[in-house]
Amino acid sequence: MSKEDLDRYSRQILMNNFNKDSQLKLLNTSVLIIGAGGLGSTAILYLGSAGFGRIGIVDNDVVEETNLHRQVIHDETKIGLSKAVSAQQTIKKLNSKCECYVYKLLLTSENALSVIKPYDIVIDATDNVCATYLINDACILTNKILIQASALRMEGQLSVFNYNNGPCYRCLNPIPPPAGTVTKCNVSGVLGVVPGIMGCFQAVEAIKIAAGLGANYSQKLLIYDAELGKVRVVKTRPKQENCSICGKNPSITSLIDYEDFCNMKKCTNPNMSKDRITVEEYNEILKVNKPHVLIDVRPKEAFQLSNLPNAINIPKLELSNNAQKIKDLLKKKAEEANVSEVPLYLICRSSATSLNSIPILKEQGNFKVSYIIGGLLEWKKKIDPSFQIE
Amino acid sequence: MGKNITLSFGGGMEILFNNTKEREIELPDSVVNIKDLIAYMKDELLQERPELFVLNDSVRPGIIVLINNADWEIEGGLEYELEDDDEITFISTLHGG
């Protein structure tokens, strides 16, 4: 190890159970962090500074103002920027020697194995049930250790999977929760520091595993409740012989359709065909001048940079407060066109935000609403190559 | 005399049970095991939306059940026979970050 590195990491090498060899192990270990949000922010900061040789960051989202209370790796100057790139910029300033790669993509059954393969340890810092099953399965198929955590309101949970013949996420949760029983931060809220704490726990686990000190939370579940001030560490079941992915005769041998598995298609799309339209279909609607309302649900900074001329900007988190305004707009359009009702379309950069906006609107009334598949990126690709977006 | 146990809730399950995260209850003699307890809770304690708690005589998928701070699978699951002073915990798996 170089003298520079010895100096830089001297304070952790000073510990009697963490020596130069442990630090070298970190330098030779790579970690993939999936999600640069509330959990990922602190996990990435500590992993970037701890002396890992290589880290990778996966995120397809852009920084929004409402993220900043918890996603502390980003700041006000990064609003509208890719979260993965923003996190990478922070790490480059923090530790220029840490190789930091970004994947500006949504992890899917098609790309997950190739993204995960080059890394030793995987951190699930995502915010949804489909991603968690996808990452779990991908880690089993590529034999990677998985550190999974989640946070909501004032509570957090964490566990380490596929470690030393321990259980995987499916061993504990063979059946996904019914659609409609799961809520997210943008609906239930979250105290900013709670995912930050859970991300720190993920970083500790990654460091201990990499340094050969052993994981704390394999076959254990850490449950943190900031409301009660309670930390529980509970023993869970061991690896299950009949587990459908890591058991003796697995029925899942390649990645599957996780939205379908988690019943999410039904959840977000009670009438699938009506709930989403393609960019080609929307282009047709524009051409024939069919009356409708188009809402761009991106943050206003992103909207100001580029937008479709007929779009109205109402960022996702302002939708509930503007439900009446939207109803009035629809009514006005319908009256102008002399029809009983007109459809509402949602658009955003990639369609992740607009898809998630649909349940928010449906809570506020009986909206006839669809999102545009692939969003503005798809619009640029298929309809208007001159559209300014990346 | 019925047994006294502590029920605790987390991950949003408390919302279904009077918004209390911890309570002590005295069980009627008819409640012997966890399966009976779930039925009793559904009929007597649940405030709203049973579909968020039960499915086919058990808890719905996505609920972690702990018996004295251990995964109920280790302790016998639905068939576990309740004892005085047991702490039974129902926590919803979280998906946020």
> Which tens digit of pLDDT belongs to each residue from A82-106?
999 999 999 999 999 999 999 999 9
| The pLDDT value given to residue A273 | 46
- Lowest-confidence pick of A252-261, A266-275, A361-370: A266-275
Q: Where in chain A is the domain with CATH 3.40.250.10?
A: 276-383
Contact A364, A382 (CB under 8 A): no
The reply to whether B92 touches chain A by the CB within 8 Å rule is yes
A99 or A183, greater pLDDT: A99
Confidence of residue A272 (pLDDT cuts 50, 70, 90): very low
Q: What is the mean pLDDT of residues A228-257?
A: 96
Residue A266 has pLDDT above 60, yes or no: no
- Chain-wide mean pLDDT for chain A? 93
Residue A56 has pLDDT above 70, yes or no: yes
Contact A84, A36 (CB under 8 A): yes
CB-based contact A37 B97, cutoff 8 Å: yes
**Regarding beta strands B54-55 and A276-277, do their DSSP bridges make them parallel or antiparallel, or are they unpaired?**
unpaired
Contact A346, A372 (CB under 8 A): yes
At A38, which amino acid appears?
G
In-domain check, residue B31: yes
The reply to whether A183 touches chain B by the CB within 8 Å rule is yes
| The pLDDT value given to residue A274 | 61
Rounded-to-integer distance, Cα B77 and Cα A134, Å: 27
In-domain check, residue B58: yes
- Lowest-confidence pick of A6-20, A353-367, B26-40: A353-367
Q: Is A139 a catalytic residue?
A: no
CATH 3.40.50.1000 fits A3-265, yes or no: no
CB-based contact A177 B93, cutoff 8 Å: yes
Q: Which residue of A has its CA nearest to B90?
A: A223
Q: Is A348 a catalytic residue?
A: yes
The reply to whether A283 touches chain B by the CB within 8 Å rule is no
Domain count within chain B: 1
Using CA atoms of A203, A204, A210, A211 in order, give the dihedral in degrees to the nearest 10: 140
Query: Which of A100, A185, A246, A262 is flagged as catalytic?
Result: A185
Query: Could you tell me how far CA A316 lies from the centroid of its own chain?
Result: 16
Looking at residue B19, which CATH number applies to its domain?
3.10.20.30
Q: Where in chain A is the domain with CATH 3.40.50.720?
A: 3-265
Q: Which residues of A touch B94 (CB under 8 A)?
A: 150-152, 155-157
- Reading the block at residue A287, the tokens are 């051409």
pTM: 0.77
CB-based contact A173 B60, cutoff 8 Å: no
Q: What is the mean pLDDT of residues A364-372?
A: 87
In-domain check, residue B14: yes
Rounded-to-integer distance, Cα B69 and Cα B50, Å: 24
**B27-86 residues touching A, CB cutoff 8 A:** 51-52, 55, 60-64, 66, 69-71, 73-74
**Regarding beta strands B87-92 and B63-67, do their DSSP bridges make them parallel or antiparallel, or are they unpaired?**
antiparallel
A107: left (phi > 0), else alpha (psi -120 to 50), else beta? beta
% of chain A exceeding 90 in pLDDT: 81
Residue numbers of the domain that contains B47? 3-92
Residue B1 has pLDDT above 80, yes or no: no
Confidence of residue A268 (pLDDT cuts 50, 70, 90): very low
Residue B87's SS3 state is: strand
- Reading the block at residue A111, the tokens are 């790309």
Give the phi and the psi of residue A268 in degrees, each rounded to 5.
-85, -20
CB-based contact B97 A153, cutoff 8 Å: no
| The pLDDT value given to residue A269 | 37
Residue B4's SS3 state is: strand
| The pLDDT value given to residue A390 | 80
In-domain check, residue B32: yes
| The pLDDT value given to residue A265 | 63
Rounded-to-integer distance, Cα A219 and Cα A382, Å: 48
The domain made up of A276-383 has a fold known as: Oxidized Rhodanese; domain 1 (3.40.250)
| The pLDDT value given to residue A165 | 97
In-domain check, residue B97: no
Helices A193-210 and A38-50 cross at an angle (nearest 10°) of 40
Contact A177, A150 (CB under 8 A): no
Q: Which of A289, A259, A286 is nearest to A272 (CA)?
A: A259
Closest approach of chain B CAs to the CA of A172, in angstroms?
Answer: 9
- Lowest-confidence pick of A140-154, A174-188, A319-333: A174-188
* H or E element in which residue B5 lies: strand B4-10
CB-based contact A173 B93, cutoff 8 Å: yes
Number of Cβ pairs closer than 8 Å across A and B? 102
Rounded-to-integer distance, Cα A349 and Cα A218, Å: 38
A164: left (phi > 0), else alpha (psi -120 to 50), else beta? left
In-domain check, residue B22: yes
Contact B13, B51 (CB under 8 A): no
ipTM score above 0.90: yes
Rounded-to-integer distance, Cα A174 and Cα A133, Å: 10
Residue B50 has pLDDT above 50, yes or no: yes
CB-based contact B95 A184, cutoff 8 Å: yes
Q: What is the mean pLDDT of residues A293-301?
A: 94
Confidence of residue A339 (pLDDT cuts 50, 70, 90): confident
In-domain check, residue B81: yes
Give the phi and the psi of residue A207 in degrees, each rounded to 5.
-65, -45
Residue B66's SS3 state is: strand
**Gyration radius of chain A's alpha carbons:** 23
A296 or A287, greater pLDDT: A296
> Which tens digit of pLDDT belongs to each residue from B74-89?
999 999 999 999 999 9
In-domain check, residue B84: yes
Q: Which residues of A touch B12 (CB under 8 A)?
A: 152-153, 183, 188
| The pLDDT value given to residue A181 | 83
Contact B60, B12 (CB under 8 A): no
Q: What is the mean pLDDT of residues A35-56?
A: 98
